[in-house]
């Protein structure tokens, strides 16, 4: 049995060839024995999953931006720069600077030998601080287990030399799995090819360190990150950015509060002395 080396591994999700079949969602649920949420009619495109959460560790987003063209049907149909109907199989990004890992008070969230971010289910106590911190809304709370859940990068499969279920099931190879450096080379080539073909808005998200120090699950997007509900580099901030200012503000308040209290409670003594 071939085993993976203990090197950074991840996903390169090429949204330009995602067809929205949701095979990744199904494979993920099947392998990880996720029951799924109660089906809901979201009345929102072809998306009946809604969001990433404790039961959905892969979520195919459907983003419709069909150009109106004032009712004129154009021939050939314009491809709108490849942005008319976007699909993206979203997943935990396994960030290099992971917000969830940063705030977890119990050390339940760890980085594995494959550089992925994993929630140890036997350590997590369900405080949900990681949910509050994750900028991608990836982590969900499982009421049955009382713990936080998200994509494990199929850690159990990796340990047995198997690629993650979603990547294996993807019929178009939109989800590519492998060693991170190999994936980055492949992504650079694909981006260059798309831009040469005229898809000027095509861009890599998380390929470099501008977003959370780089993402182990990074994407090729056909539009800006915001369109895919992903924070751009300016908004990709770690929770700890508020630590110093928060505590400094508290300290300042404590000092002013003490002074205010002393002024009030010493007034009697001062009056007695005078």
Partner 1 sequence: MPPAEHFAAAPNWEWWILGYFFFGGLSGGSYAIGTLLRLVGAPADQRAARIAFITSFLALVPCPIFLTLDLGQPTRFINMLFDASSGGLAFKPWSPMSLGSWALLGFGLFSFVSFVGAVAESGWHAADPIARILRGTFGAAWSIIGTGLGFFVCGYTGVLLSVSNQPVWSDGWPLGGVFLASSLTGAVALLLLLARSRRDVDAGTAVRLELADRNFAILEIVLIAVFLVTVAIAGTIGKMAGVWLLLWVVVFAGLAAPFALSRVDAARRWAPVTAPLLGLLSVLALRALVIFSAQS
Residues 159-218 binding partner 1 (CB under 8 A) are none
Instruction: Report residue 65 as tokens.
Output: 């931006």
DSSP state at residue 203? E
What are the counts of helices (DSSP H) followed by strands (DSSP E) for the chain? 8, 10
Instruction: Report residue 38 as tokens.
Output: 């109660």
19 part of the interface to partner 1, by CB under 8 A: no
Could you say which of 98, 103, 117, 194 contacts partner 1 (CB under 8 A)?
103
Binding region for partner 1 (CB under 8 A) out of 20-28, 38-46, 144-152, 195-203: 144-152
13 part of the interface to partner 1, by CB under 8 A: no
- Nearer to partner 1 by Cβ, of 41 and 245: the residue is 245
Q: Distance (Å, rounded) from C-alpha 186 to C-alpha 84?
A: 25
127 part of the interface to partner 1, by CB under 8 A: yes
Binding region for partner 1 (CB under 8 A) out of 60-68, 79-87, 176-184, 235-243: 235-243
Q: Is the peptide bond before 274 cis (omega within 30 degrees of 0)?
A: no
User: In angstroms, what is the minimal distance from the CB of 225 to partner 1?
Assistant: 9
Q: Distance (Å, rounded) from C-alpha 181 to C-alpha 249?
A: 42
Q: How many residues bind partner 1 (CB under 8 A)?
A: 72
User: In angstroms, what is the minimal distance from the CB of 2 to partner 1?
Assistant: 28
Instruction: Report residue 83 as tokens.
Output: 């942005």
User: In angstroms, what is the minimal distance from the CB of 151 to partner 1?
Assistant: 14
User: In angstroms, what is the minimal distance from the CB of 192 to partner 1?
Assistant: 29
Instruction: Report residue 270 as tokens.
Output: 């001062």
* Cβ-based neighbours of 259, under 8 Å, separated by 6 or more: none
């Amino acid at each position: 049995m071939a085993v993976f080396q203990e090197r950074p591994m991840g996903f390169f999700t090429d949204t330009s060839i995602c067809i929205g079949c949701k095979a990744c969602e199904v494979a993920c649920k099947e392998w990880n024995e996720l029951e799924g949420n109660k089906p809901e009619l979201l009345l929102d495109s072809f998306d009946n999953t809604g969001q990433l959460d404790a039961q959905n560790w892969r979520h195919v987003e459907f983003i419709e931006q069909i150009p109106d063209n004032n009712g004129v049907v154009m021939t050939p149909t314009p491809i709108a720069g490849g942005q008319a109907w976007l699909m993206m199989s979203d997943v935990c990004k396994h960030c290099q600077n992971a917000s969830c890992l940063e705030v977890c008070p119990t050390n339940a969230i760890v980085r594995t030998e494959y550089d992925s971010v994993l929630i140890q289910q036997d350590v997590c106590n369900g405080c949900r601080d990681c949910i509050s911190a994750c900028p991608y809304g990836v982590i969900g709370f499982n009421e049955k287990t009382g713990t936080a859940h998200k994509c494990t990068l199929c850690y159990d499969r990796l340990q047995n030399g198997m690629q993650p279920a979603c990547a294996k099931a993807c019929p178009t190879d939109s989800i590519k799995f492998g060693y991170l450096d190999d994936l980055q080379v492949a992504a650079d080539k694909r981006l260059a090819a798309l831009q040469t073909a005229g898809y000027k808005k095509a861009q890599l998200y998380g390929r470099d360190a501008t977003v959370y120090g780089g993402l182990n699950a990074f994407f090729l997007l056909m539009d800006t990150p915001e369109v895919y509900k992903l924070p751009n580099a300016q908004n990709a901030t770690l929770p700890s950015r508020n630590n110093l200012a928060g505590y400094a503000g508290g300290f300042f308040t404590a000092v002013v509060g003490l002074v205010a209290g002393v002024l009030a409670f010493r007034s009697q003594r001062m009056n007695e002395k005078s």
